[in-house]
Structure 1
Amino acid sequence: MGIPDIRQLVTLDFEVYGHVQGLNLTKDTRDRCTKAGITGWVKNSKAGTIVGKMQGPKEEVEKMVTWLSSEGSPGCQIDRCELRNQGNLSRLDYKDFAIRF
């Protein structure tokens, strides 16, 4: 087997634009991230977007970004997902994934 592969941890901030509030996107994002081992937070913004921070295994975070960019919850009309402050981590800053208000 050899040396176990240490999964690369990444961090990023995201903002999802479009018709995205009131359609369970924050809840679905939390549920999907929790299941994927991603920590951080998500919330509705006053600007009508959904904003948050994800930290976790690179592969899982990339899958979530794809979902947030193109699919989202049923009924969502996503225009785009902007990413900011992307980087690598040695350890996670959050214990779980939460919805903030």
Structure 2
Amino acid sequence: MYTEVEAKKIELVDWGKATSKGTVTDQVQGPKEKVNSMKSWLSKVESPSSLTDCTNFSNEKTISKLEYSNFSIQY
């Protein structure tokens, strides 16, 4: 919920899924500066109830158009 609020606040689209290993896989899309802002938020703030030990960002690439139209959470 907190991640969705933050993504919408800075006008990003996102797809996220909690894994069976207790981790979260996320794909954030938008302008580079806004994605960097979200990465910083995920690393330092996140949800008040989150027990984040570390964040790992990988597979970063430039895309020509957004693949999502809004924020989506998979369970």
Task: State the TM-score, normalized to the length of structure 2.
Answer: 0.87
SS state at 1:83 partner: coil
Identity of aligned residues (%): 33
Name stretches of at least 5 consecutive residues in structure 2 with no aligned partner: none
SS state at 1:74 partner: coil
Alpha-carbon distance in 1 for matches of 2:50, 2:9: 21
One-letter amino acid of the structure 2 residue matched with residue 76 of structure 1? S
Aligned residues: 75
Who is 2:14 aligned against?
A: 40
Which digits, 9 at most, give the CA deviation of each residue in 1:48-86, with x for residues without a partner?
011110000111111111111122111333221111210
* Residue correspondence of structure 1 range 22-101 to structure 2 within 5 A: 27-101=1-75
Who is 1:11 aligned against?
A: none
Find the structure with the greater CA-based Rg.
1
- Please, what is the CA RMSD of the aligned residues? 1.3
Instruction: Name the structure where strand makes up a greater proportion of residues.
Output: 1
Alpha-carbon distance in 2 for matches of 1:29, 1:69: 12
SS state at 2:52 partner: strand
Off by >3 Å, runs of 4+ in structure 1: none
Which deviates the most, 52-61 or 33-42? 33-42
Who is 1:19 aligned against?
A: none
Name stretches of at least 5 consecutive residues in structure 1 with no aligned partner: 1-26
Task: State the TM-score, normalized to the length of structure 1.
Answer: 0.67
